[in-house]
C-alpha cells in the first residue's frame, strides 16, 4: 500500500526540503493515520517535534487526531492505498 504525503512549511524543512513523496507502507491492509505518522517519524526523526503541533489532512479533509499513543480518534482514521496525507504545521504572520 502506498500513500502520498505532502509536507508544508516547517514540516518541509524538517524532511530536507521535500514537498511531496510517496510512502510505501508494509501492508496492503488499511492502516491508521497513527501507523503512518510512526513510519514517517522513524524515517525523519527531525519531523517528530513538528508533528506534535501539526494539523493533518487526509484527501483534503482535516482529521481530528492527537499524537498520544493509541489515541482512539487517530486509530479510527483508516488510510487506503492512494490516499493523500498533508502535514500542515501552525503558521503565523502579521
Whether 13 maps to a domain, the answer reads yes
pLDDT band, residue 34 (cuts 50/70/90) = confident
Q: How far apart are the first and last CA of the chain?
A: 41
Q: How deeply is 60 buried, as exposed, middle or buried, from its count of CB atoms within 10 A (0-12, 13-18, 19+)?
A: exposed
Whether 93 maps to a domain, the answer reads no
Whether 22 maps to a domain, the answer reads yes
Question: Residue 40's domain spans which residues?
Answer: 2-88
The CATH number for 29's domain is 3.10.20.30
Q: Is the pLDDT of residue 76 over 70?
A: no
Chain segment 40-64, per-residue pLDDT in tens: 999 999 999 999 899 999 999 998 7
State pTM to two decimals: 0.85
Conformation bin of residue 16: beta by default, left when phi > 0, alpha when psi is -120 to 50:
left
Q: Count of domains in the chain?
A: 1
Amino acid at each position: 500500500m502506498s500513500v502520498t504525503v505532502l509536507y508544508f512549511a516547517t514540516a518541509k524543512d524538517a524532511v530536507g526540503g521535500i514537498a511531496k513523496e510517496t510512502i510505501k507502507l508494509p501492508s496492503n491492509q488499511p492502516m491508521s493515520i497513527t501507523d503512518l505518522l510512526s513510519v514517517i517519524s522513524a524515517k525523519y526523526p527531525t519531523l517528530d517535534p513538528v508533528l506534535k503541533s501539526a494539523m493533518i489532512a487526509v484527501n483534503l479533509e482535516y482529521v481530528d487526531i492527537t499524537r498520544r499513543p493509541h489515541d482512539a480518534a487517530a486509530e479510527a482514521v483508516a488510510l487506503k492505498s492512494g490516499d493523500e496525507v498533508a502535514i500542515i504545521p501552525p503558521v503565523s504572520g502579521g
